[in-house]
Amino acid sequence: MTFPFAWRWGGLALAWGGVLGSLALTPALADAPAAVLALPWVSSAVVLGLPHGAVDPLVPFAMRGEPLRLGPLARLCVAYLALGALVLAAWWAAPTAAAVGFVLLTWAHWGQGDVYALRALGWDAHLAGPAQRVLAGAVRGALPMAVPLAAHPEVYAEVVGAMAAALQPDGAEAARRLVLGIPSAVVWVGLGVLIGVYAMWGAVVGRRRRAWRSLGLDLAEVAGLAVFFAVLPPLWSVGVYFCLWHAVRHLARLGPLVADGSARRLSLYAAPATLGALALIGLVFADALRGRVASVGAYLVGIAALTVPHVVVVAWMDLRQHVWTGR
């Protein structure tokens, strides 16, 4: 469970470049129009974001060291699509509940991705076992999902409303009201407690194991991301995080596994399903893809449908690689 040299440093440079570069642009981004803030989402359709899930059906073969076989591959793709279709049905039937479920699933999935990254970077010496790793995942996932909620509730409500309206035009209001009903102070206190407990637990274990370096690097990332999500407009910060942080780290995990470490080959493998997914999103949401925030909302619901099977694949990888339980 390590990132090869080039992927490790390339991944860290992109992730931190995105965070620090955005922070440097804060004054310009603060008043930027929605068309600019949506740019990370637009580019995610072809680079890093959408492609990061597009090789999912190849993963089981690669992990078992088996050659690709057309029959099982087709069955995996059909199962992937069927699960996605079920998720879309849920968005149609109960958009507010689906939006809440999606935010919670993203919290878990982005946290899960970062726990793997902490381990693959060798920054986990202060994490003693499964319970502490689960807390690490909860903290890492809370940064993109809960900090913008506390710091920018109106925008958060607008985006969640746009998602709820993607398949149910009058679904926005209930979702908006739900978000605006959560007091920011409660979210800030919750975040403070979560991160505080995590830091203290890390310090206790770090002291016992003399793991100051990994504790310091981990907490520096947590602090940097907390500032990033608190300060920048959420459409921008969550989009940049999705592409340059979450997707890059996942691709760094996949590259050596499915493409012999070649970024070019990985992009080639990812291209067909990326284009297929884009075509499907275009078809399903042809009506909703109007207006900047509305389009991001519809695109996010398309991604939400793909997220559920994607999380199944990543959870299976975690299990096989003993991410939560191994030493």
Ligand X SMILES: CC1=C(/C=C/C(C)=C/C=C/C(C)=C/C=C/C=C(C)/C=C/C=C(C)/C=C/C2=C(C)CCCC2(C)C)C(C)(C)CCC1
Minimum gap (Å) between residue 305 Cβ and ligand X: 8
Closest residue to ligand X using C-beta atoms:
53
- Closest CB to ligand X among residues 7, 80: 80
CB nearer to ligand X: give 56 or 114: 56
CB of 53 to ligand X, least distance (A): 2
**152 annotated binding-site participant:** no
Contact (Cβ atoms closer than 8 angstroms) between residue 18 and residue 241: yes
Report, in Å, the least distance between residue 142 CB and ligand X.
11
Residue closer to ligand X (CB basis): 34 or 217 = 34
Interacting residues with ligand X (CB under 6 A): 49-50, 52-54, 56-57, 77, 80-81, 102-103, 106, 109, 145, 148, 156, 159-160, 234-235, 238, 242, 273-274, 276-277, 300, 303, 306-307, 310
Q: Is 126 annotated as a binding residue?
A: no
Q: How far is the CB of 21 from ligand X (least distance, A)?
A: 19
Residue closer to ligand X (CB basis): 235 or 323: 235
Shortest Å, Cβ 211 to ligand X: 30
Instruction: Please identify, using beta-carbon distances, which residue of 48 and 215 lies nearer to ligand X.
Output: 48
Q: Is 322 marked within a binding site? A: no
Binding residues for Fe cation are 52, 109, 246, 250
